Structure 1
Amino acid sequence: MRYLFEEYAFDAERRELRRGTDLVSVAPQVFDLLDYLIRNRERVVGKDELIDAIWQGRSVSDAALTTRLNSVRCAIGDSGEEQRLVRTLPRRGFRFVGKVRETLAAADTEAVADSGAEAPKPALSLPDKPSIAVLPFANLCSDPEQDYFADGMVEDIILGLSRSKSLFVIARHSTLAYKGKAIDVKQIGQELGVRYVLEGSVRKAGNRLRIAGQLIDTTTGTHLWADRFDSEIGDLFDLQDRLTSSVIGAISPQLERAEIERARRKPTDNLQAYDYYLRAFAAFFNFTEKASIEAIELAKIARELDPEFARAYALGARC
């Protein structure tokens, strides 16, 4: 049996953890701890139970257990501050709270592949309100180093869309697996359980910026809306707001556009600080010690440029 959550695939039989197509290096004890938490995800697992299961009754300090849990979180892109997937319940224990899908074991999947057919992923049911996934935007700049800018734009658009209480918005972690891949939107809709997909591209040339976007109904493949927005770099936040509002208006006239307007707020007036923040954000998602150190330094520069830039402080703490 394989367990799928966000962009990760956990294969207990092969003792493999994969993020997309990449194999994540995990220490054996950390792997066993993650395995036990996933298999018992329907309940809270106490500290003593974990020690008995993983350390087989050996005396283990709280610090050692905390270190292993932090390693588990690091391996799956989580953190002790966020606790998006592995949650600590004070004085009670721990629980894996991520949404998990079970599929065939890797060996069975390979057998299907050898027969010339691809094992389909189970389709997720649609939520009871409009749901959308924002796919990674294509970087059309001649400089591949500008990928961080396109990724940062997507993050801000997701934040803008999530301010509407009438929308169910898929987290960025779940859509990263589709970056650079040509996949049918109907398949994406089934795998993520969303009705709408927003695709787009970013082109940055000198002081000019162009964002193109298209909204697609995943159940029919119909293009509901497409547009492009041009502006000076100095009007970046206004451009993001216009794109976000246009997407919401295209999905349904009844959605709470007023909620978006009320919550709209520029993260910073300092565009140089914002640029360093986007670089730090991109480095953070490499999930390595070296990249995290780089992200901390970049976030520090952003804070120095704008001491009131709250997101830069939050990202530094997250790293």
Structure 2
Amino acid sequence: MAKTLAFGPFRLDAEAGILFRGSEPAALGRRAVALLALLLGRAGCPVSKQALIESAWPSRAIEDSNLTVQIAAIRRTLQDHDGGACWIETLPRRGYRYVGPAVTSDGPDAATFSGPVRGLALPDRPSIAVLPFVNMSGDPEQDHVADGMVSDIITGLSRIKWLFVIAQNSTAIYKARAVEVKQVGRELGVRYVLEGSVRKAGGNLRISARMIDASTGAHLWAERYDRSSDDIFALQDEIAVSAVGAIAPSLRRA
């Protein structure tokens, strides 16, 4: 294991069990340090509650509330840096994930902390992640169109009570990354993945979207929309409503 993990203005000395901000040690107990080390080691990937508990309370049966207390202590320490309290993301009823600045390691086996890990078990209801849409236009200004499209679709899907939807900040780590849908399913613990692309040509937009079964790689639904880009917000609403209307029955049948 690497001896030191650095992220943002912080440095965690895993061997000594001390978290530093700059050269100053932070007031963080050994259990919280153990939890933080595991989260940093699997940066960007979900870590189950059981794995976290085993890292800080090995071979002991404890209540989830003990884990919650330690995670809160970590967040209080990190919030000394602007936005730091948001670096530890809660995955409801499942676990946590580190989504802060890039983590660097001084150890030769640094890849151990950034490589793929075993994913979480699927929830007991249909589950889906909407990946960042790819901007195919070559125009960085169209990134906001793609991001807005994803946000609207996630909002629409979240209204379906029987569907578990991954939050947008959880899927943002896949932006501009070539990743296998099956890997996304394992890492996020979802059965279905929705992906798409945005392309602008003159005053027109072409949006393509498709839903894939992450366990098999099979395409369950796909659609393409060609619209004028004069009213971006109306376009986003139209596509979100259409996508949600098509996806919901597809998920019930799958």
- Could you say whether these structures have the same fold, taking a TM-score greater than 0.5 normalized by the shorter chain as the test? yes
Equivalent residues in 2 for 1:230-309 (5 A)? 230-233=226-229, 234=231, 235-236=234-235, 237-253=237-253
Closer, same or farther: CA 141–120 of 1 in aligned 2, 3 Å: closer
CA contact under 8 A between 2:79 and 2:85: conserved in structure 1? no
Distance 1:30 1:200 in 2: 45
Equivalent residues in 2 for 1:190-201 (5 A)? 190-201=186-197
Q: CA deviation at 1:157?
A: 0.9
Counterpart residue number, 2:9: 25
Larger Rg belongs to: 1
Which structure's residues are more often strand, by fraction? Answer: 2
Counterpart residue number, 1:125: 121
Q: What CA deviation, in whole Å up to 9, does each residue of 1:77-102 have, x standing for no partner?
A: 36xxxx965xxxxxxxxxxx992379
TM-score by length of 2: 0.64
Distance 1:30 1:230 in 2: 56
> Unmatched 5+ residue regions in structure 1?
2-10, 18-23, 55-64, 86-96, 255-319
Closer, same or farther: CA 109–162 of 1 in aligned 2, 3 Å: farther
Q: CA deviation at 1:253?
A: 4.5
Q: CA deviation at 1:227?
A: 1.0
Number of residue pairs matched by the alignment: 200
Aligned with 2:4: secondary structure? coil
Closer, same or farther: CA 101–204 of 1 in aligned 2, 3 Å: closer
Closer, same or farther: CA 210–125 of 1 in aligned 2, 3 Å: same
Aligned with 1:124: secondary structure? coil
Counterpart residue number, 1:99: 95
Distance 1:126 1:202 in 2: 30
Counterpart residue number, 1:77: 86
Identity %: 42
Counterpart residue number, 2:209: 213
Cα root mean square deviation, aligned: 3.9
The one-letter amino acid paired with 2:80 is S
Q: CA deviation at 1:247?
A: 1.9
Distance 2:25 2:130 in 1: 32
Residue among 63, 67, 77 paired with 1:42:
67
Distance 2:150 2:116 in 1: 28
TM-score by length of 1: 0.52
Q: CA deviation at 1:31?
A: 6.4
